[in-house]
Amino acid sequence: MTDDSKSTYPLDMPEPNDPPQPVTETPLPVSESPQPVAAEPRRNFLSKALAVVIGGIVTLVPFAAGLAVFTDPLRTRKKGSGNGDDDGFIKVATFDELPVGDPPQRFQVIDDRVDAWNMFPNESVGTVYLSRATEDEVLALNVTCPHVGCPVDYDTARHVFQCPCHNSSFKPTGEIDNEDSPAARGMDALEIKIKNKNEVWVKYQEFRPGTAEKIAEA
């Protein structure tokens, strides 16, 4: 036999016709002590960043100071600060060394020589021929042949400039001496100044070889 009055629901479950039971909420456990904040990694990051910045400054400051010293002569070199005046003229000779009517004489042009990184004070930066036709008349010629750049000699017996490379010849005044000269122009005359009544100052320049036109090199 079966007992029909017996419920099929478990004892702790409400039966379908039971009134709704109030729901009791179980509070979640609350921690008694405050949770730790993740501050330590951030502090480490800032310390490392600060160390990198300080390390960079310590490295770069001496490097910059060394670079400034290394390039100082080039940075501070001003126009005319070598042997030249403000217009680029350099003292080359005096009248005492240039008797009137003498053959052209070679003189070195002494100035500071500068390349991309270095300055060499008081070196020869070029060579010129000087001659003095009258008391106040001085002629300066660049010794470089305008054909392809060999240094030109002066032949005192023939009274001409003679280039040893391809046989160009020039008059004492610098013009082309014969039609067979391969040079396309005469020797390059240079600007001069007379200072203190007997000093010959020359503006030394180099010019492009191989052209009929006289073109100053940069």
Residues from 56 through 75 that contact ligand FES (CB under 6 A):
none
User: Is 166 an interacting residue with respect to ligand FES (CB under 6 A)?
Assistant: yes
Stretch binding ligand FES (CB under 6 A), from 52-60, 88-96, 106-114, 164-172: 164-172
Least gap, CB of 175 to ligand FES (angstroms): 15
Nearest-angstrom CA–CA distance, 78 and 97: 30
Closest to ligand FES by CB, 110 vs 144, is 144
Stretch binding ligand FES (CB under 6 A), from 18-26, 34-42, 98-106, 147-155: 147-155
Stretch binding ligand FES (CB under 6 A), from 23-31, 46-54, 69-77, 160-168: 160-168
User: Is 133 an interacting residue with respect to ligand FES (CB under 6 A)?
Assistant: no
Least gap, CB of 182 to ligand FES (angstroms): 5
Closest CA to 103 of 45, 154, 44: 154
Nearest-angstrom CA–CA distance, 218 and 211: 16
Count of residues engaged in binding ligand FES, rule: CB under 6 A: 11
Residues from 22 through 51 that contact ligand FES (CB under 6 A):
none
Residue 157 CA from chain centroid, whole number: 48
Nearest-angstrom CA–CA distance, 42 and 26: 38
Nearest-angstrom CA–CA distance, 161 and 145: 10
> Quick one: how many helices (H) and strands (E) in the chain?
1, 9
Residues from 174 through 213 that contact ligand FES (CB under 6 A):
182-183
Stretch binding ligand FES (CB under 6 A), from 4-12, 108-116, 158-166, 194-202: 158-166
Strands (DSSP E) found in the chain: 90-94, 105-114, 119-132, 138-142, 153-155, 160-162, 169-170, 192-195, 199-202
> What's the Cα-to-Cα distance from 164 to each of 56, 88, 177, 193, rounded to whole Å?
60, 31, 15, 31
Binding positions for ligand FES, rule: CB under 6 A: 145, 147-150, 163, 165-166, 168, 182-183
